[in-house]
């Protein structure tokens, strides 16, 4: 009975404040030159599961970097995600393996890497096309063993 009462008074996940995640700089080296982002690092099960859910805005130069700590196949969906997103699937050496552009908000269709990846970077939908980011471009961030160049 106490459990039931607790469940009925607990705020829904959407009503809970967004957790504060560590932030760091990330650079993508493209044919158009370096593209700089300030990213939140989702590097544990809880932060990776919540991801960008329930957020209503994101700065143009912001993103969320999901670190799996080792290469694996990755599959994402847009459940409870309110913003269209581009998803960049990144190998352990920082090479972008594949990109899914403009993922549809709230769509629960799986969005998959085409091979094993170390990380996934989510940015605002349309960002990769606008900045000329392509598969094969290199990502600079501490998790890939390289520090972003200034």
Domain that holds residue 129: 22-144
**Phi (first) and psi of residue 64, to 5 degrees:** -130, 130
Give tens-digit pLDDT for 61-114.
999 999 999 999 999 999 999 999 999 999 999 999 999 999 999 999 999 999
What CATH number has the domain bearing residue 91?
2.60.120.1140
- Does residue 73 fall inside a structural domain? yes
For residues 28-51, average pLDDT: 93
- Does residue 47 fall inside a structural domain? yes
Percentage helix, strand, coil, to 5, in the chain?
A: 15, 40, 45
Beta bridge partners of 64: 40, 122
- Does residue 62 fall inside a structural domain? yes
Give tens-digit pLDDT for 102-148.
999 999 999 999 999 999 999 999 999 999 999 999 999 999 998 87
Domain total in the chain: 1
- Does residue 9 fall inside a structural domain? no
- Does residue 5 fall inside a structural domain? no
What residues contact 40, with CB distance under 8 A and at least 6 apart? 21, 22, 23, 62, 63, 64, 65
Measured CA to CA, the distance from residue 20 to residue 77 in angstroms comes to 22
């Amino acid at each position: 009975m106490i459990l039931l009462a607790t469940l009925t008074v607990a705020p829904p996940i959407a009503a809970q404040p967004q957790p504060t995640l560590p932030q760091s700089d990330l650079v993508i080296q493209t044919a158009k030159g370096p593209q700089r982002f300030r990213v939140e690092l989702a590097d544990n099960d809880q932060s990776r599961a919540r991801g960008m859910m329930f957020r209503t805005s994101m700065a143009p130069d912001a993103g969320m970097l999901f670190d799996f700590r080792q290469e694996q196949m990755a599959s994402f969906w847009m459940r409870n995600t309110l913003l269209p997103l581009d998803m960049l699937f990144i190998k352990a050496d920082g090479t972008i393996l594949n990109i899914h552009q403009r993922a549809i908000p709230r769509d629960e269709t799986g969005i998959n890497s085409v091979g094993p990846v170390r990380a996934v970077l989510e940015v605002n939908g349309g960002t990769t096309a606008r900045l000329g980011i392509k598969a094969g471009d290199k990502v600079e961030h501490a998790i890939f063993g390289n520090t972003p160049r200034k």
